[in-house]
Homo-oligomer: A and B are copies of this chain.
């Protein structure tokens, strides 16, 4: 059971205030990085010089991706524990590396904080960062810490490696390929909607303790998502190389359109095949949201959407937590969603626009 109050306590109760202006930038970097131990052979030099040095073994390629999370746009500290935020900031980047069919090995983390942040609060964020580094076996090899006039900003760059021939782009889908998705869709978005609702109640009356009982799963999906390292491992062990792959950060419909557009194809997705968790359906119904739009347009799932040749059907059919939701068709046949009554509706991407009005989640 999670209570908003506990979350708020967690981040507001600094064990001991050690002023940032006293510790200074170098002191803070020392404090945050003294625990770092390099895990990967390809990390030649980590923190402590002008740049990190990386040398993937043999003929491996390097993949690089970066994401910027800003307070008030991608997260709300009222309901985001700092440790979870640090964890999530790393995971969303690792997810992009996995979506290339590559293995993340290093990260660089830059963070800008305003004067309302204490050293303890920054350490909380880094505890989350280190937890992610441990779980995913990546090395923190560099970054930057800085002041900020206002909120908190976290920028993470993730570096991974893969054989060139194993890398999967978005543009390789072919007609008749099967469209697959890992896990389930829409849960993180429903978790966010619940948090936003409870925050409104809490704002109106602080004596009403928000009750989030029974929704641990969708809250976890929003606050502490995981990247699908396991799926990449299983694809490798089953010798499946997807023809196209992308991670679902902006919503299923947005991502399938990316694959179709880049591959020059159409697609047919079967609504009833899209995996949606019970809690997600329940919350959608409670909030009177259309389950269709939740599963298609809710972002931040960090699941993998990929296509495989039809000849791999038997192999993907037995994969853990992987669902075949449709197939690729020639571009001329369009990009459609088949509803349960057999009718077709064009797929349009609402996606997530951080410049728009639908702010507050990542």
**A141 at the B interface (CB under 8 A):** yes
- Are the C-beta atoms of A141 and B246 separated by less than 8 Å? no
**A54 at the B interface (CB under 8 A):** yes
**A167 at the B interface (CB under 8 A):** yes
- Are the C-beta atoms of A55 and B164 separated by less than 8 Å? yes
- Are the C-beta atoms of B61 and A54 separated by less than 8 Å? yes
Docked Cα-Cα span, A261 to B68, in Å, equals: 33
Report the minimum CB–CB distance from A80 to chain B (whole Å): 15
Docked Cα-Cα span, A164 to B25, in Å, equals: 29
Pick from B55, B66, B72, B148: contact of A144, CB under 8 Å: B66
Contacts of A359 in B (CB 8 A): 147
**A112 at the B interface (CB under 8 A):** yes
Contacts of A70 in B (CB 8 A): 112, 146-149, 153
- Are the C-beta atoms of B146 and A149 separated by less than 8 Å? no
Contacts of A325 in B (CB 8 A): none
Contacts of A144 in B (CB 8 A): 66-68
**A159 at the B interface (CB under 8 A):** yes
Docked Cα-Cα span, A247 to B108, in Å, equals: 19
- Interface size for A (C-beta < 8 A) is 76
Report the minimum CB–CB distance from A114 to chain B (whole Å): 9
A residues lining the B interface (CB < 8 Å): 20-21, 23-26, 28, 44-45, 48-56, 61-74, 96-97, 99-100, 102, 106, 108, 110-112, 115, 141-151, 153, 155, 157-160, 164, 167, 169-170, 245-247, 262, 351-357, 359
Docked Cα-Cα span, A77 to B359, in Å, equals: 26
Docked Cα-Cα span, A25 to B165, in Å, equals: 31
- Are the C-beta atoms of A51 and B355 separated by less than 8 Å? no
Q: Can you list 17 A-B contacts with CB-CB less than 8 angstroms, sorted by A residue number?
A: A24-B355, A24-B356, A25-B352, A45-B167, A54-B62, A62-B62, A66-B110, A66-B142, A66-B157, A67-B144, A68-B153, A70-B147, A73-B146, A73-B148, A73-B149, A110-B155, A147-B355
